């Protein structure tokens, strides 16, 4: 039996029993994002020689949160709703060498985690944020989220949603992230490339990935993936004229001081260098 090439990075079993199959619904985008992430991590391990121990996966709560739960054959943390970035900040304070990937959702990032999201970008801490955006709260049954489009019917907007939606990429860019991109689960190679870029970037990389929820949309995954390709247009090609489609692409890719690097300078001024006391 030949196994999927990325299973080497998952714990099919633990000492006290099996951990797979993954808990996600059939066709869920979360499994795909995990798959793409592992391809990207594999590339960074092979090409850059980064050891497996340096990687740290942290997630919040929701379907995206379950990606870490107990599957990864890496160090990981399944933390509280919206606070993955705060935990990530703490981990990097303890060890700035971690390569941190944060799995979060549109509600986890844009609602309860909004404050931590903008401050993580502002500080430009060294994380790669993968925001799985399905436009609703999946795990709890399909309630509307700050990214739900106007007019959508959800379990908490039964009369159609009247609230506007965040553009999380614009928020990230304004708050100060050094790399911002949006793709969909129907663009695997672009997602992988962006994750690799994010892992190599010293600073906050925010990658929004539109991800399908076949159960709450009540549309098969294959159809939703086709819709992702049809209803999106690359930023580089469209400029501002989008014809009602969602912009995808890399919005921002700049060099900015990363938090721990800047703080190290403060610590270093108190260290004695060879040859005597610093003046």
Partner 1 sequence: MAKTPRDRKGVVSSPDLGLLKPGKYYLQGNQACIEGALMAGCRVYAGYPITPAVETMEYASQRFPQAGCRFIQMEDEIASACALIGSSWGGAKAMTATSGPGFSLMQEAISIGVMSETPMVIVDIQRAGPGQGYITASQQDIMQARWGHHGDGPIIALAPSSVQEMFDFTIEAFNLSEQWRTPVLVMAEETVGHMREPVLVPHTDAIETIERKKPQDLGISPRDYLPWGHDTVAPMANWGEGYNVNFVALVHLEDGNITKYSPQANYHCVERLQRKIEGNVREIARIETKFLEDCKHLIICYGAVSRTGMEAVIEAREVSGLEVGYIRLVTPWPFPEEQLREIVGEVNTIFVPEMNLGMMRHPITEALRDRCRKVVSIPSLGTLHSPEYILSKVREEVS
Partner 2 sequence: MNRLWVDERYCKGCLICIDVCPKKALRPSQEINAKGYILPEESDMKRCTACGICELMCPDFAIAIEEAGR
Q: How far is C-alpha 22 from the geometric centre of its chain's CA atoms?
A: 18
Q: How far is the CB of 110 from partner 1 (least distance, A)?
A: 15
218 binds, among partner 1, partner 2, none (CB under 5 to 8 A by kind): none
End-to-end CA distance of the chain: 66
The Cα-based distances of 165 to 2, 64, 115 in angstroms read 44, 20, 17
CA atoms within 13 A on the CB side of 175: 26
Q: How far is the CB of 241 from partner 1 (least distance, A)?
A: 37
229 near partner 2, rule: CB under 8 A: no
Binding track, positions 154-173, relative to partner 2; x by CB under 8 A: --------------------
For residue 143, list its beta bridge partners: 137
48 near partner 1, rule: CB under 8 A: no
The span of 3-11, 145-153, 164-172, 200-208 binding partner 2 (CB under 8 A) equals 3-11
For residue 209, list its beta bridge partners: 132, 183
Q: Which residues bind partner 2 (CB under 8 A)?
A: 1-7, 10, 20-22, 24-32, 34-36, 39, 185, 188-189, 214, 220-222, 225
Q: Which residues bind partner 1 (CB under 8 A)?
A: 11, 14-19, 23, 52-54, 56, 58, 68-80, 83, 86-95, 97-98, 115-116, 119, 259-260, 263, 266-267, 270-272, 277-278
């Amino acid at each position: 039996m030949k196994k999927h090439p990325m299973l080497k990075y998952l714990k099919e079993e633990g000492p006290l029993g099996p951990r797979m199959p993954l808990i996600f619904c059939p066709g869920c985008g979360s499994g795909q994002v995990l798959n793409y992430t592992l391809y990207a991590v594999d590339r960074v391990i092979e090409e850059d020689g980064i050891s497996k121990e340096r990687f740290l996966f942290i997630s919040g709560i929701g379907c995206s949160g379950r990606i870490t739960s107990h599957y990864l054959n890496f160090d990981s943390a399944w933390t509280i709703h919206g606070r993955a970035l705060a935990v990530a900040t703490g981990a990097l304070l303890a060890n700035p060498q971690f390569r941190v990937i944060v799995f979060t959702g549109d509600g986890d990032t844009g609602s309860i985690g909004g404050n931590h999201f903008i401050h993580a970008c502002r500080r430009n801490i060294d994380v790669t944020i993968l925001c799985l955006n399905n436009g609703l709260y999946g795990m709890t049954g399909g309630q509307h989220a700050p990214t739900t489009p106007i007019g959508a019917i959800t379990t908490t907007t039964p009369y159609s949603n009247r609230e506007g939606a965040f553009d999380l990429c614009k928020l990230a860019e304004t708050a100060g992230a050094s790399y911002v991109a949006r793709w969909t689960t129907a663009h695997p190679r672009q997602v992988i490339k962006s994750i690799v870029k994010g892992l190599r970037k010293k600073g906050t990389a925010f990658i929004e990935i539109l991800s399908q929820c076949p159960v709450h949309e009540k549309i098969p995954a294959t159809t939703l993936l086709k819709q992702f390709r049809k209803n999106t247009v690359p930023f580089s090609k469209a400029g501002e004229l989008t014809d009602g489609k969602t912009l995808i692409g890399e919005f921002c890719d700049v060099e900015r001081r990363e938090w721990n690097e800047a703080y190290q300078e403060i610590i270093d001024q108190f260290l004695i260098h060879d040859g005597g006391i610093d003046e």
